[in-house]
Amino acid sequence: MNARTVVTGMGIAAPNGLGAEDFWTATRNGRSGIGPVSRFDPAQYPLRLAGEVPGFVAEDHLPGRLLPQTDRMTRLALVAADWALTDAGITPDEVPAFDMGVVTSSSSGGFEFGQGELQKLWSKGSRYVSAYQSFAWFYAVNSGQISIRNGMKGPSSVLVSDQAGGLDAVAQARRQIRKGTPMIVTGGVDASICPWGWVAQLASGRLSTGDDPRRAYLPFDAHAHGHVPGEGGAILLLENVENARSRGARIYGEIAGYAATFDPRAGSGREPGLRTAIELALADAEVRPEDVDVIFADAAAIPEMDRVEAEAIAAVFGPYGVPVTAPKSMTGRLYSGAAALDLASALLSISTGVIPPTTNVEAVPDYRLDLVTDEPRSTPIRTALVVARGHGGFNSAVVVQAPSD
């Protein structure tokens, strides 16, 4: 079965906006959520900036029973899932349990929760470690908690491929819809702004330094020197188009194409897999390069990686062939939450006809990118491409299209 898959709901928790409306208002206007770390004292670390989700009080949204057993990333994911379902007009109680599944992405699991329990382990002993540590840190915990809270007994899984995960999860959700489950909650939310998360991320060697939020994360710029970590992401409701139409749902757009590739071994001299991922995603969507109206870039902000991405885009679309943007310049990189958030932005670009800007950046001229900087650009958008790369060689690309009549 090749059922068409559409997005009918979204819930967003991002550093520059809690809720889809706040997020989009900030994003289209170039308002950043990057600032000094407030969740712990970062003074002794080389990076002291982050994109933190503002004003989230879990107690206001979730029952008390869930609080002792959830990491911050799970609390954000549960609330974003609630918002996505409300946005889609779905009351889970009224839908057969096996008609709904959950597929999310994860990168490191519940680090802040895990850090707290490890501290209890070495300072007080094993009897002080919470029984909930058994799953609260775990990669699949967001999928599990969303499915339990909403009584969703359809297919459930987790994809772990770092920053590419958000797209890989959406693709897996589309597979499950094609196999016959009418609705899948998908996307990704991450949050590991805690000392343990910080040192783990610093070890990648890809983090920026400095204390100026406007100069710390500069993808495609001559001064690119790594990224700022952020937290949050997006949860989307994916639905079989027939199901969506029969209940008169508002449709944001269609997940029209997807592909994933893996990079060749480092030092092999072979071309990285990104260009192929883009070409295969376009082929899967049956669109030509000239049909694409905007690209949401991975935007690593490591000069070699920016060059790889710019070359892949120029190879497929021609020099300056298509507008490119990286709104994650306003949020930092959200790991498993990043690509789902970019997908939400792409869908909001389609509905509003606005490409949000890449902030504080001036593109390196020989990248030959039509990078949308400084100001949002108004233009009709029917087809958008979202590109994401995960640490270790993951490349994924998704094509989203405006709903057809």
Partner 1 sequence: MSTKNFTLDDLKRILREGAGSDDDIDIDGDILDAGFEQLGYESLALLETGSRIEREYGITLDEPSLVDATTPRALIALVNAHLADSLAA
Residues near partner 1 (CB under 8 A): 63-69, 127-128, 130-132, 134
Are 87 and 10 in contact by the 8 Å Cβ rule? The answer is: yes
Structure tokens at 28: 């289209």
Tell me the closest approach of the beta carbon of residue 156 to partner 1, in angstroms.
18
Tell me the closest approach of the beta carbon of residue 75 to partner 1, in angstroms.
12
93 or 212: whose CB is closer to partner 1? 93
Tell me the closest approach of the beta carbon of residue 124 to partner 1, in angstroms.
9
29 or 69: whose CB is closer to partner 1? 69
65 or 265: whose CB is closer to partner 1? 65
62 or 84: whose CB is closer to partner 1? 62
Structure tokens at 246: 């029969």
Tell me the closest approach of the beta carbon of residue 100 to partner 1, in angstroms.
21
Tell me the closest approach of the beta carbon of residue 8 to partner 1, in angstroms.
29
66 or 202: whose CB is closer to partner 1? 66
134 or 404: whose CB is closer to partner 1? 134
Residues listed for the chain:
405
Residues 381, 349: Cα–Cα separation, whole Å: 7
| Partner residues linked to 400 by β-bridges | 255, 384
Tell me the closest approach of the beta carbon of residue 64 to partner 1, in angstroms.
4
Tell me the closest approach of the beta carbon of residue 96 to partner 1, in angstroms.
24
123 or 268: whose CB is closer to partner 1? 123
Q: Strand 5-14 and strand 17-18: pairing? A: antiparallel
Angle at 304 between CA 279 and CA 191, to 5 degrees: 80
**Nearest to 296, CA basis, from 350, 366, 235, 237:** 350
Residues 334, 15: Cα–Cα separation, whole Å: 9
